[in-house]
Chain A
Amino acid sequence: MNIALFLEMAAEAAPERIGLVCDGRRWSYGELLAGARGAARSIVEAGCSHVALLDESSEAAIFALFGAALAGVPYCPLNYRLADADLGALLGRIAPALVIGDVARASRLCPGNLNRSRGDFVSTALSAQPLDEAADGEGIAIQLFTSGTTAAPKAAILRHANLVSYILGTVEFACADESDAALVSVPPYHIAGISALLSSIYAQRRIVMLPAFSPEAWLALAEAEAVSNAFVVPTMLSRILDALERDGTPRLPALRAVAYGGGKMPFEVIDKALTRLPQVGFTNAYGLTETSSTIALLGPDDHRVAHGSADPQVRARLASVGRPLPTVELEIRDEDGRVLPAGMPGEIFVRGDQVSGEYREKSALTADGWFPTRDAGYLDAEGYLFLSGRADDVIVRGGENMSPGEIEDVLLTHPAIADACAVGVPSVEWGEAVGVALVLREGHARPDEAELCRLVRERLRSSRVPEVIRFEPALPYNEMGKLLRREVRKLFAA
């Protein structure tokens, strides 16, 4: 199997149909396939071990993704926002690579790679003799360095078979109307940025690329291209809603479906989105790099039912990531590997053809193919999955495990608290105790500590009561909206 199949099928079925709009230029599926085949030739001739992209989204991302697949070389888009030292280390780990994009920076940080500008790569691809015989696709399609919120980045690998299985299991070929368009604003080095390209091409949904996100640019492009679908991370949605609020007029008449993921969605943001955009169906997608993107989703109907309900149990479902895909198995297990019943928190394990669970160094799969996600969560009685943070973030106080998420959720119900993060802080008595960093909502007075502690004690139990409370102007997030808990831990250590 080879993921290049998806672009070949799209070009076979509708060569003239527009598949990509980027920087004002429109590319048909036929042109995209020709570019990928030319890119494959230049990749083979470069004799490289990886094809890296050090650049924002453009047609080069599609040429490189499918060109590398046809050439049988792993595609490895890199996070251009990394600091020099971190990026240099990653460039060293993939040498000898063909690096596309920021030539000056790539050559300064790491010798031994072949660096090519976006313009050179694209024009070479378009003029090269096409390579149309796909390499045997049993190998690695994509190598992505994890964001490393807890440790040094790991090189996760996704095989062609994983990605083909994910797309065939979740997308119906050519299911999009010719007027449909998907706005892709996540960066190319994120799994969501890659799965967006694969899904949209297989669905034959025109991709509208927004290389650099700002809420104003997103709204303008969505309207200019009559965008029907979009994927956003929570911070993007929050900023888009703020921009809509400032603007005041009804907008986005063509928008029908917004999927989100990549980090925890604040309840009030999705609640506001459902009110502000009644014509839009929202889908919460939960997945990891190691699982080829989505493994569970909360669909549009679930969102509307929860939003319209007065029952707190049903409303709480807005904070769920939904049910597992029919093509994956999902279990919650305790530390000894026992499968837990509904309502009991533990570590999320998944199994399925789309799940790679593999790193360059080793596979993390168990002997019978289960992937321990290191995400903590629980299933409710109806099979809805709730996340409660990373398993590594679990606070162990005197032998009792507690998830930071449940403490944060309670604190966030206080009207004066805008954001909250609970971490384990060293304690002589307990080994670890609960520390919370809070952000005060604008216009509110700081509540006293006793009041906050009482709130936690009443809703949870006394072991969850924070030992240390700090107020911060803001909490640290990465650019994908992921809370950087290790940075919060440092605040308490200081």
Chain B
Amino acid sequence: MKPGTKLKSQVCDTEVMVIRCGTGRIECGGAAMAEDKPAEPGTPAEGLAGGALMGKRYVDAAGAFELLCVKPGKGSLAVDGVILSIKDAKPLPASD
């Protein structure tokens, strides 16, 4: 997987763009994300329906993965079953 790849959830509307990527399975709502939408969308697994917010960046604790949510949805983003957290960026004043 290379940066710039767009991945789609198999269980909700969520879409992400990969900004940084290590080794592991990128998931949404408990199911692996893929470059194509499924014919029949499933539902997020129990406890994995925390939602993905538009424009937020999601990262793992080790800093190996970073995903930008480009379409929001119901599923929680995770890598190998570990839920990702929203990247906390210090707001900067508008410079242009």
Contacts and interface: CB of A to CB of B under 8 A. Distances in A.
Interface of A: 1-2, 5, 8-9, 12-13, 136-138, 160-161, 168-175, 182, 192, 195-196, 199, 203, 205, 229, 231, 257, 259, 261, 281, 283, 285, 293-294, 297, 299-300, 325-326
Nearest to A286: B95
A137 B19 CA distance: 13
Given A12-B71, A173-B56, A1 B93 contact: no
Given A161-B3, A174-B54, A281 B91 contact: no
Contacts of B89: 169, 172
A281 to B, nearest CB: 7
A300 B93 contact: yes
A310 to B, nearest CB: 25
B70 A192 contact: no
B24 to A, nearest CB: 21
B70 A12 contact: yes
A228 to B, nearest CB: 9
B79 to A, nearest CB: 19
Contacts, number: 77
A299 B91 CA distance: 11
Given A1-B4, A12-B71, A283 B94 contact: yes
A169 B68 CA distance: 12
Given A1-B4, A172-B89, 17 more contacts: A5-B17, A12-B70, A13-B54, A137-B4, A171-B92, A173-B54, A173-B56, A174-B55, A192-B96, A195-B96, A196-B96, A257-B93, A259-B95, A261-B95, A285-B95, A294-B96, A297-B93
Contact of A13 (B19, B55, B57, B95): B55
Interface string B17-59: 1010000000000000000000000000000000000111100
Nearest to A284: B95
17 contacts: A2-B4, A9-B70, A12-B71, A160-B4, A168-B19, A168-B68, A172-B89, A173-B56, A182-B94, A199-B94, A199-B96, A205-B94, A257-B93, A257-B94, A283-B95, A285-B96, A297-B92
Interface of B: 3-4, 17, 19, 54-57, 68, 70-71, 89-96
Nearest to A174: B55
A299 B93 contact: yes
A5 B3 contact: no
B11 to A, nearest CB: 19
Given A1-B17, A12-B70, A203 B91 contact: no
Contacts of A283: 93-95
B91 A259 contact: no
B95 A172 contact: no
A204 to B, nearest CB: 9
Which are the 6 A-B pairs with shortest beta-carbon distances?
A173-B55, A285-B95, A1-B4, A195-B96, A294-B95, A283-B93
A160 B70 CA distance: 17
A196 B94 CA distance: 9
A301 to B, nearest CB: 9
Nearest to A256: B94
Nearest to B2: A138
B16 to A, nearest CB: 11
Nearest to B66: A168
A477 B68 CA distance: 42
A30 B91 CA distance: 27
A172 B55 contact: yes
A172 B54 CA distance: 11
A196 B3 CA distance: 25
Contacts of B57: 168
A168 B4 CA distance: 13
Contacts of B95: 170, 199, 231, 259, 261, 283, 285, 293-294, 297
| Chain A CB within 10 Å, residue with most, of B54, B57, B90, B95 | B95
Contacts of B92: 170-171, 297, 299, 325
A294 B94 CA distance: 10
| Chain B CB within 10 Å, residue with most, of A12, A160, A229, A231 | A12
Contacts of A136: 4
